Structure 1
Amino acid sequence: MKNLIIIIFLIYTFSIMNCDGRYRSQKSHQQVLVDNKLFDSFSKQVQYIPEGYSEIVTDTILNNGYQIKMNYHSIETDYVLEENQTLNQIETAHHYKDFEAHLMVLKDDHLLINTLIDKSDFNKFENPSFWKKAIMQFLWVDYARSENNTLYLNTSFCTPDNQVCKDFVIKINEIGNLEIDAINLDEHIL
């Protein structure tokens, strides 16, 4: 019994002494990661912009009788992907989340519009390749321009790769008709 314990102890000791990593001492860190199939997980950085759920809620009443309830928020399942590669062979993937806005407009306590505003509403103004990369940047009430019979909202769509932006005005009249116009048809760079 005593000999069995000594034999087990010797086998354990020799096995520990042989696990000192000498076989990796001449390899680079990158080669060790490749050998252990871990290189891909360390060579790609993924970033979500914004990192978490983002939301802006607007609930306002104008002196011309319009009441605007707007919930502008990020879409967690819809994003534009932009990938780059650095000098160290590290690949970065930026996932820019798209946005949409739930809009409810009332005039003198009468519901005019209850709709969702997203980039699909603006398809006729630009080619499909722009909309594939575009993200809704903002949706806001144009308080100064709004009149007694018309409410004005502004929105902007930009591409994250080259910051080409398209601006639009959304007009809602007192009977609930919604009209979208492009503010500028030329590209401008921020």
Structure 2
Amino acid sequence: MVESDWKFKILEGLPATGDLPIQFSATGMGMHSEGLVSKFWSESSNESWIGNFQRGLNLFDHAVQHPNLVDIIIVAGGDVYIVNPERRTLQDNFGGDFETITAVPDQSLYIFGTSIAFEAVGPKGRTWRSARIALDGIRSLNLEGSDLTGEAYNQDDQWIPFSLDVVSGEFTGGADIWW
């Protein structure tokens, strides 16, 4: 696969002039409201366009090159949009409440985290989704080789250490969720 020359950046808001933005929404709602606005452009073809991504359930916004080196990953309010910038199309959409993103360059992965679990995206798309690791809160994330370590909040109001294998999504430790 040839690496795309498309670039991207998050804008402060919708431009006052120019073409209308392409709308992206996980639910089909909010298509006429300002969300996370991103600009995409190709230096080789001299093309550009604006995308308006409706936000999910929180305030976490981020943008990165997809591990496949063609698509772009936009996180708008915790909702993940995978977009092909050349075709201006949505390739995948998931989440709604992601709060963190951890790059794992050695594995060509991004690990997305909510307050209870994780999901990975690799060159071929989503690769795994972990089981629930916390009752309601994850903190102190640290990548150590092929393990993502941190603390998970449990039902006894304690922070319990965990270690997540970034290749498989399997983990040890964390909250003992019994239901």
Output the TM-score relative to the length of structure 1: 0.29
Q: Which has the larger radius of gyration?
A: 1
| TM-score, normalised with respect to structure 2 | 0.31
Q: Hey, which of these two has a bigger chunk of helix by percent?
A: 1
